[in-house]
Structure 1
Amino acid sequence: MRTLVKQSLVDQIYIQIRDDIIEQVIPWGKRLNVNELQDKFGISSTPIREALNRLQKEGLIEYKNNIGANVISIEEKDIIEIQEVALTLDCAAIRYSMEKGKINEMAEELLYNIKCFQESDDEIKRAESIEQFSRVFYRYAENSRLIDMSKLIKGQQSMLRSAYRKEKEGSTSIENHIKIYNSVLKKDVDSAIAFMEQEYKEATGILLNYLK
């Protein structure tokens, strides 16, 4: 368990529970008992409840009448909807960022994340590299509302990325991201978006297979 720092206690609890949900240490659909979490962390219920409220706003947990807090369950319909929304936002970020014209600076950051993926044999770090690759487009899109919208789906998408890693079992690929990078270098917006759509199509198929 992480060392808890008094001045950021809620942050520490939030990060620990969030990580456990993302990595399925706490399974999808599992009830979160406040008393059990109090015993685990050795603290009062107040910071626990504050952390759970943050996780609810992020869409990772939900409250049900007469039951309490549960990690969200993810079914086939949920995977499709999460992927559709995330793809729509990613494609918008690609288009807006490339229209801003800072192609060289953006390409340099994209390449850095590709290299981080290629040089790492840690699947979690490789997944982080892929996530940061997409984040580049959001930063260069310079659209605060687009970024805020992406944050609403980010947590649920992280849950899917964890499932994706487990299904691929060490064979994750960055081939489509390299194609996106090359499209950026060519200033070909439509091609970059097409390869991102291809990436999501392949990933959605893998996730649906994982669910089965």
Structure 2
Amino acid sequence: MDNTIIIYRSEVENKMGALVKRSLVDQIYVQIRDDIIEQVIPWGMRLNVNELQDKFGVSSTPIREALNRLQKEGLIEYKNNIGANVISIGERDIIEIQEVASTLDCAAIRYSMEKGKIDEMAEELLYNIKCFRESDNEIKRAESIEQFSRVFYKYAENSRLIDMSKLIKGQQSMLRSAYRKEKEGSTSIENHVKIYNSVLKKDVNSAMTFMEQEYKEATEILLNYLK
């Protein structure tokens, strides 16, 4: 049996009629992942394989494969005699995730700016700032902010740094969703503009300082979210 379903990749490509094949496991993984990140499936909730089978109309095999991928990404955990649960995120978790993410982002800033492709990098950073400002959709805005940070990883040209960042990307996405809910549509890009200006000035330390400030402010907001 061919477990491949044809879906559209994006709205832009829809208009062009472009199609991409995505495996059944991929589709289930993406759907569950999105539901976890947007808290359609709440933090700490148990994931019942039988219920997921009924929801997607498939056997247990693709469900378990998707859950295994989510476990590797750090979004779910398996507990003895219970099964799979979405991870619970508490105060200590928020602080640790933010500390690690900030450290990695600052390293990406340093390495990318040391490589010297400032003009190319600045152009891509500005593009993401413009995308943020032109959108009134908070999810799209959050994506612009995430892509802003990914620019530094691209130009850092360090595969191991990228791999390390991927280990907490899912958990970061969970926090970003909580951040959006706490901010209620008032997400700011002020620190990112300051980072961009620091890049133009080739001021590595200033760019890193503003990135650290962004994480510090976000951490305070996320801790309030738990209260």
Indicate the TM-score class for this superposition, using the shorter chain for normalisation. Answer: over 0.9
Count of residues paired in the alignment? 212
With the length of structure 1 as denominator, give the TM-score of the two structures: 0.97
1:51 to 53, 59, 66: 66
SS of the residue corresponding to residue 77 of structure 2 reads strand
Shift of residue 6, structure 1, vs aligned partner? 8.3
| Cα distance in 1 between the residues matched to 2:60 and 2:81 | 18
- Superposed CA RMSD: 2.5
| Cα distance in 1 between the residues matched to 2:20 and 2:51 | 20
Shift of residue 16, structure 1, vs aligned partner? 0.1
Shift of residue 114, structure 1, vs aligned partner? 0.2
| Cα distance in 1 between the residues matched to 2:51 and 2:18 | 18
SS of the residue corresponding to residue 23 of structure 2 reads helix
The answer to whether the Cα contact below 8 Å between 1:163 and 1:210 also exists between their aligned partners in 2 is yes
4+ runs of 1 displaced by more than 3 Å?
1-7
With the length of structure 2 as denominator, give the TM-score of the two structures: 0.91
Shift of residue 99, structure 1, vs aligned partner? 0.1
Q: Deviations over 1:118-156 (max 9, x none)?
A: 000000000000000000000000000000000000000
* 1:3–1:12 distance in 2 versus 1, CA, 3 Å: farther
Shift of residue 4, structure 1, vs aligned partner? 13
Shift of residue 79, structure 1, vs aligned partner? 0.1
| Cα distance in 1 between the residues matched to 2:72 and 2:65 | 11
Identify the structure with bigger relative contact order (alpha carbons < 8 Å, sequence gap 6+): 1
* 1:46–1:133 distance in 2 versus 1, CA, 3 Å: same
Shift of residue 48, structure 1, vs aligned partner? 0.2
* 1:17–1:103 distance in 2 versus 1, CA, 3 Å: same
> Which residues of structure 1 form unaligned runs of 5+?
none
* 1:48–1:6 distance in 2 versus 1, CA, 3 Å: farther
The answer to whether the Cα contact below 8 Å between 1:4 and 1:12 also exists between their aligned partners in 2 is no
SS of the residue corresponding to residue 168 of structure 2 reads helix
> Which residues of structure 2 form unaligned runs of 5+?
1-15
| Cα distance in 2 between the residues matched to 1:208 and 1:131 | 20
The answer to whether the Cα contact below 8 Å between 1:5 and 1:12 also exists between their aligned partners in 2 is no
Query: Given the alignment of the two structures, is residue 149 of structure 1 paired with residue 129 of structure 2, yes or no?
Result: no
Percent identical residues = 92
* 1:27–1:2 distance in 2 versus 1, CA, 3 Å: farther
| Cα distance in 2 between the residues matched to 1:2 and 1:51 | 28
Shift of residue 3, structure 1, vs aligned partner? 16
* 1:7–1:85 distance in 2 versus 1, CA, 3 Å: closer
| Cα distance in 2 between the residues matched to 1:191 and 1:100 | 17
Shift of residue 5, structure 1, vs aligned partner? 9.3
Q: Deviations over 1:175-199 (max 9, x none)?
A: 0000000000000000000000000
* Structure showing the higher helix proportion among its residues: 1
SS of the residue corresponding to residue 19 of structure 2 reads coil
| Cα distance in 1 between the residues matched to 2:90 and 2:78 | 18
* 1:2–1:71 distance in 2 versus 1, CA, 3 Å: farther
* 1:179–1:199 distance in 2 versus 1, CA, 3 Å: same
Q: Deviations over 1:61-80 (max 9, x none)?
A: 00000000000000000000
* 1:82–1:190 distance in 2 versus 1, CA, 3 Å: same
